[in-house]
Amino acid sequence: MPKKDDKRAAPAGRDDEVWIAAHNPEHAIRVRSLTAYLQNGGGLKDVRLVQGEDRCWTIFVRLSSRPGEHRVNMFKSDKPKTYRDVDLALACVREDFGYYGPVTLVTELTAPT
């Protein structure tokens, strides 16, 4: 907790959150577990779509009851669930997970030189 006289303290009422990009398989959730979590009353706080160097999109979610970011893995695998088209990834987030909040798009591709 910052001291009262600390000039770096956040303004009152401001909710500061940051994305911590952790490509750690221990911070992953399978589609079936995420679906069960949502059906049992859980919720998503935030969603991030990351385009990898292979041009596929991977979904990362922040759960309302657990800290950190979780990569969405395939139904019966520890590999990430990827989409070749960002529209399909967004459709999954909206229709399958019922999340209609803001979605952050990030790419790992570099601009051509």
Where do the structural domains in the chain lie, given as residue ranges? 27-107
pLDDT band at 55 (very low <50, low <70, confident <90, very high): very high
Mean pLDDT of the chain: 82
Looking up tokens 């990827």 gives 82
**Across-strand partners of 71?**
28, 60
> Is the Cβ–Cβ distance between 29 and 73 less than 8 Å?
yes
What's the pTM value of the predicted model, to 2 decimals? 0.74
Quick check: 5 pLDDT over 50?
A: no
Mean pLDDT confidence for 75-79: 86
H/E run at residue 30: strand 28-30
> Is the Cβ–Cβ distance between 97 and 81 less than 8 Å?
no
Quick check: 17 pLDDT over 90?
A: no
